[in-house]
Amino acid sequence: MMSFYDSHLVLFQATFTGLILALSIQVPLRMGVFSFAGAGSYGIGAYLAAILVIKQDASAFVAIGAAMLATAVIGLLLGLLIFKLNGLYLAMATVAFDLIIGVIAINGGKTTGGSTGLYGVITDFTMSQLFTITLIALVLVALSEVGRTGRRVDAVRDDPELASSMGISLRRYRLTAFVVSGALGGLAGSMNVLVRSAIGPLDIGFGLIVLGLTMIVVGGSRSWKGAVIGAVIFTWLPDVLTAIGAWQELVYGIVVALAAVFLPRGIYGVLVDLNKGLQRRSRERHDPPPAAAEEAAGDVDPTTGDVRELALNEEAVP
């Protein structure tokens, strides 16, 4: 009998690559940049890695490095091109970028394999290497959320005008968001094609945008922990829902809709609020309010502010 790990190896691989994809969207959102260009970078990285392996016989790490470098540069160029856009207009521009990549993949002829895609991307890339690279990327993103960098990122997102008045370059941080998003998207796409050995137009496009965004919305966009939660849930949920057959898509949609309505900050945001509430109750339970402490010690002299013990009238006591 196959072990649980062996029988679900594909899901473990999809979890790690999905996590990097989610981070490619979470990083710019955390900076207040509504960019979904990470999904387009995913497609670029996947196709570039496949082409290098098939036609140039490149090693796995060379293909991954080239994909990350190319998508980081493309992310920078895209950021320079649409830098002045904000909000919905920025989101629409990046979605258009993602869809353009899908069109290029379909019409790329022999280079991209057309509607069939590219197959036979065979390398010696192992699961342990996939896990190690994912862990390194996750640690680097986590480090960017703490300390001085984390505070600056929060300021850029929550109050851009205040951040600018404090000498923080909004342009530099926004461009950094595009570069990091591009590099992470390229990393996710290149690793995915190396473990699956194939890539096609159906693997990228609008469906990939929805998947990455759903992971972040449900998991939480303010922290890398939300990306982890979302990647695990939406990689394994379809497999769990196979037991209900034709109702799978309906239940999947209901779960996403309920999470979006009742969990606006994502599951991680709910966990943070619960933790703060428990800490507040613990402090209130162990630390009596000042009024109660003064009442227990005695009355307060209105002239000196000193605490004096209450004098009991012995005659009034029965």
pLDDT digits (tens, 9 = 90+) for 95-125: 999 999 999 999 999 999 998 999 989 998 9
In the chain, % helix, strand, coil (3-state, to 5) comes to 75, 5, 25
The whole-number pLDDT of residue 308 equals 47
What is the rounded distance in angstroms from the CA atom of residue 23 to the CA atom of residue 219? 11
Lookup: tokens for 128: 């342990």
Computed over every residue of the chain, the mean pLDDT equals 86
Other beta carbons within 10 Å of 155: 18
Q: Is the pLDDT of residue 277 over 60?
A: yes
**Domain 9-272, CATH class in plain words:** mainly alpha
224 pLDDT band, cuts 50/70/90, is: very high
pLDDT, residue 318, reads 43
- Return the closest-CA partner of residue 253 out of 209, 214, 202: 214
Residue 45: which pLDDT band, with cuts at 50, 70 and 90?
Answer: very high
Q: How confident is the model at residue 92 (pLDDT cuts 50, 70, 90)?
A: very high
**Residue in the structure block whose two tokens are 């490149």:** 58
- Cα–Cα distance list, 124 to 53, 65, 130, 193, 249 (Å): 11, 15, 11, 12, 35
Query: Is 90 exceeded by the pLDDT of residue 136?
Result: yes
- pTM of the model as a whole: 0.84
pLDDT at 1: 44
pLDDT digits (tens, 9 = 90+) for 165-194: 888 888 999 999 999 999 999 999 999 999
Residue 291: its pLDDT value, please? 54
With H, G, I as helix, E, B as strand and everything else as coil, classify residue 118: strand
Q: Would you list the domain boundaries of the chain? A: 9-272
What is the maximal distance between C-alpha atoms in the chain? 107
Share of the chain above pLDDT 70, in %: 89
**pLDDT tens for each residue of 118-132:** 998 999 899 999 999
Query: Which H/E stretch holds residue 302?
Result: none
